[in-house]
Every structure is written in structure tokens, then in C-alpha cells.
Amino acid sequence: MSGPTPEPKLFTPLQAGAIRLANRVVMAPLTRNRARPADDAPVAIHVDYYRQRAGAGLIISEGTQISPEGKGYAWTPGIHSPAQVAGWKAVTDAVHAEGGHIVAQIWHVGRVSHTSLQPNGQPPVGPSALTANSRTFDGAGFVPTSAPRALELADIARILEDYRHAAANADAAGFDGVEIHGANGYLIDQFMRPSANHRTDGYGGSIENRTRFLEEVVDAVTGVLGGARVGLRLSPFSPANAVVVDETAQETFARAIDRINPYGLAFLHMVEGATGGSRELPAGASIDALRARFDGVYIANNGYDRRMAIEAVESGRADAVAFGKLFISNPDLAERLRRDAPLTTPDSATFYGGGAEGYIDYPALEGAEHRGAAVGG
């Protein structure tokens, strides 16, 4: 007689640095634009939202700005004020009470912002004074990003202090760690891309110079939390927010990974292909080669379904898989995937802004079955 079929590795525990995941289904960071407008603090609705999703092996919070200058979209939360820390503490307490784990994704958008979102209506900042030619949400609608000013060396030193402060605040708010947002055309990614970085000092030009800011951020954050409580998100081959994926991308991100390896990070989380789009890679590009350079836990992201995720983890190509939009409409996604149960389709009209609708009113599996709300997915 044959024994029971072993459970797919996707649904088994994983140690990521200092964080013990109950399963390898990770909730990706998801901007939802529901922070309190007056002070960008999380509120009670955030507590419910994250508590509902505590069955994920790890929750990575929505992008959370490290300073008022780091803000690029209306109603996104921060982690630089006492009110914001208090709001997040209620969230982390709720997740932990359900047995879950959560890290804060700490974020500086750089040039992907608008003067109306910046302190005193100032221009956004970037490695160089090069406009992103993308769009952002100002609270009334989508508007073109504003022209940035180039960061001075003193500004860079100040921003590194903002990262340290955000890491300390994340610790005070009860997060299990942080994920440094180095992806999707935001500030750290801007430094690494020749299309956004025309600097002629020690932060521009060569690959060594363009990856310097990333390492300095990692050094700052791990200096507060230790490497075992810090992860990093990268998107080597994504043109998100109008950065150009050029012929140096493979070499640039290989060097980036080599530079952060000595810090013993808990995980590396990579967007495989274009963010929220095609998984196709440019000629000569290899996610597997980059993943092989990293010494720790690797979280794969972008367009995964159950079959793909199980295969990626079983084969060892990934240690865990992050899901985004499916976590919006399936708060108990890890359990649904484990059971191979039907998935609820998300309503894109309620992704950004608003209140409870499309945020905390998606039922868990039993509730969905009773309401007849589940659909094939």
C-alpha cells in the first residue's frame, strides 16, 4: 500500500532569517490608499484587513513612506510619526494574535511624486533632475509626475538617517522586520538605472557607483534591526515608473546582490519580469542566475498561480512565492491554495482608495461557500 501523498512544500514552514513562516505563501506589498488623510496613519480598517490575511506565511505591508518627502501617492501610510507608529502597532498586534508574521515595506518614491503631495509643495527628489514621465494619484485623479530636483550629498546622508528612523519605528510598532523597497522605479531603483541617474559623483556612472546607495540603505537598516530581520525587494527587468531596462541590467543587479550578501538578509524578494505584467525577460537576462548569487531565502513574485508556485518551491527555484491581487479578494489565500479551493476574483474598481468595500468585505472560504461568492480563478 502506498502512503498518503505528501503535502506540497509550498504549504510547509520556512525559516527566513529570524522569521519563522508557517507556510511559504507570502502576501506581497499592495498599495490600497486608505490611510487617514490628515496624517497618513493606519486606522481601524487596516487592523481588520491585515488580521484577515494573517494566514499568509508572511505579510509584507503596503509600501510605507520613511518621510513626508518619500510620499508619492495620496492616502498611503507612513512610518515616520508617533501617530503612524501607533496605528501600525494595532495592526501588528492583531496579526500576531492570529499567529501571523508581518514586515513593513519601507519606501521612498524618489521622483515618482507630485508637488501637491510634497511638504510645502516642493519638487520631488531623485538621483538626477530627470522627470519620471509616469503618473501618480493625487487624491483627485491620476496626474503626471512633477519634475524632480537632484539630490545633494547632504540630502543622501539625510535620507539614510530617514531609513534608520523608519527601521527603528518599525521595531517600535511591533513588526517582525522590514522589507526595503528597492524595486519598481522608486528611489533605490532610480539610483541603479542609467536612465534615471546621470550623476557624475560617487553615486553615478559605473555599476559600482550606481549600486552604492542600495548598499548604504541596507547598511543603515541592518545597523538598526540586524540582517536577519531585513528583506529586500528588487525588480531587475521591470520598466515600472518609466525606468529603462538597459543592457547593463543583468550585471548591475548581479553586483547589487553581491554587495548586500554580506549583510545576511532574511530574504530577497524579486519581481520576475515586468511588475504586474509579462514574465518575459530581455535577451541575456536570467532571474535564476541572480537568484543563485543570493545566499539566503528567495521569494519569487509576478503572475504565479497555484501550479506554478508549487512547482517553483518543489524544484528549489524559489523558497517561497508572493501573491498580490489574489490576496485582495481571498483573505485566506494560503488555505484556499492548500485545499485547491475556488478563488474569488478581485474588483479592480476598489483597489485604490475608498473604505470597507473591496477591502475588508471579501469573505473567507467558508463564508464564500455559504454566500455563493466564489468563482473559478
Contact 189, 183 (CB under 8 A): yes
The predicted structure's pLDDT at residue 6: 85
Strand positions, DSSP E, 190-317? 230-234, 267-271, 297-301
9-371 CATH fold: TIM Barrel (3.20.20)
- Beta-carbon contacts of residue 151 (< 8 Å; ≥ 6 apart): 125, 126, 127, 159
Q: How far is CA 35 from CA 55, 84, 309, 317, in A?
A: 23, 9, 31, 36
Q: How far is CA 225 from CA 77, 87, 167, 269, 299, in A?
A: 21, 20, 7, 18, 20
Reply yes or no on whether the pLDDT at 186 is more than 80: yes
296-344 pLDDT, tens per residue? 999 999 999 999 999 999 999 999 999 999 999 999 999 999 999 999 9
Reply yes or no on whether the pLDDT at 374 is more than 70: no
Q: How sure is the predictor about 5, in pLDDT bands with cuts at 50, 70 and 90?
A: confident
Contact 199, 151 (CB under 8 A): no
Whether 186 sits among the annotated catalytic residues: the reply is yes
The predicted structure's pLDDT at residue 235: 98
Distance separating alpha carbons of residues 17 and 40, to the nearest angstrom: 30
Q: Where do the structural domains in the chain lie, given as residue ranges?
A: 9-371
Could you tell me the three cell numbers for 60? 509584507
Distance separating alpha carbons of residues 172 and 117, to the nearest angstrom: 26
Q: Distance of alpha carbon 299 from its chain centroid, rounded?
A: 11
Could you tell me the three cell numbers for 353? 482608495
Q: Which of 82, 110, 106, 94 is nearest to 47 (CA)?
A: 94
Q: Which of 49, 50, 163, 186 is catalytic?
A: 186
A 10 A CB-CB count for 348 gives 10
The verdict on pTM exceeding 0.85 is yes
